[in-house]
Amino acid sequence: MSVARLNASHSLREERAEVINRVRAVETDRERPIAIMHDIPGPEIRTAPIEHTIELESGSEI
What is the distance between the alpha carbons of residues 20 and 38, in angstroms, rounded to a whole number? 10
Query: Is residue 55 over pLDDT 80?
Result: yes
Residue 7: strand, helix, or coil: strand
Residues contacting 62, CB < 8 A, separation 6+: 56
Q: Which residues pair with 7 in a beta bridge?
A: 39
Confidence of residue 43 (pLDDT cuts 50, 70, 90): confident
pLDDT of residue 25: 95
